Structure 1
């Protein structure tokens, strides 16, 4: 066992058997790099969304009515934005931009009903990602 004097400087107290207490408001996530894990989860969600949006082009093209071409262009634009945001998750504004992408996808449901359905699904996924981000990073 190690005592509280043998830990590295700047390392928060572990709490538990050696009697050290955690600072108020400090939540232990158990991850070596919590911020990196959260960024990876956000990038994975946006990457998956980009792939699904790419795959949605063909059904919208086949089922599309007069607004099918506009819906496809919106899909292509949102796909590019999703993939671009995957690499920018280190920046604080990328999280806000990811939220805006979800809103734009839901609003594009006026062009085609499948875009609304995808928007609702990925908005729920994004809300879960934001919940996990807040619970891990505070």
Structure 2
């Protein structure tokens, strides 16, 4: 008798990796799009904020490509914490961190549901 997967997906691990990669890719794109408004507003510490945005966007894209590794999932959570701490340079970075942190919690919940 064939084993029935509870999620109904042919390859649940691959589907979950795709979801995590999509979330991190969207986050990286959002971070890069945040450069222009922060530069134009000039409030807070714009140079530090732009550096934080670029570094965290690169980290998000790198993690999106590494979702097959088990350490990439907790690293995605650490990225959200780093962004929230980046609010010291500009409050909008913390807002992105909170928003995508909540999205990341949902991704982890979906992952747990599908893979259990």
TM range, normalised to the smaller chain? over 0.9
- List runs of 5+ in structure 1 lacking aligned partners: 1-6, 15-26
Given the alignment of the two structures, is residue 89 of structure 1 paired with residue 62 of structure 2, yes or no?
Answer: no
Structure having the higher Rg: 1
Kept in 2: contact 1:64–1:112 (CA 8 A):
no
Q: 2:49 matched to which residue of 1?
A: 71
- List runs of 5+ in structure 2 lacking aligned partners: none
User: Aligned residues, how many?
Assistant: 116
TM-score by length of 2: 0.95
Counterparts of 2:104 and 2:113 in 1: how far apart (Å)?
Answer: 14
Counterparts of 1:87 and 1:67 in 2: how far apart (Å)?
Answer: 30
Given the alignment of the two structures, is residue 43 of structure 1 paired with residue 8 of structure 2, yes or no?
Answer: no
Where in structure 2 are the equivalents of 1:49-68 lying within 5 Å?
49-68=27-46
Cα RMSD between the aligned structures?
1.2
Counterparts of 1:70 and 1:111 in 2: how far apart (Å)?
Answer: 6
- Ranked by relative contact order (alpha carbons within 8 Å, sequence separation 6 or more), the top structure is 2
Counterparts of 1:85 and 1:132 in 2: how far apart (Å)?
Answer: 18
> 1 or 2, which has the higher helix percentage?
2
How far the C-alpha of 1:66 sits from its partner, in A, is: 4.9
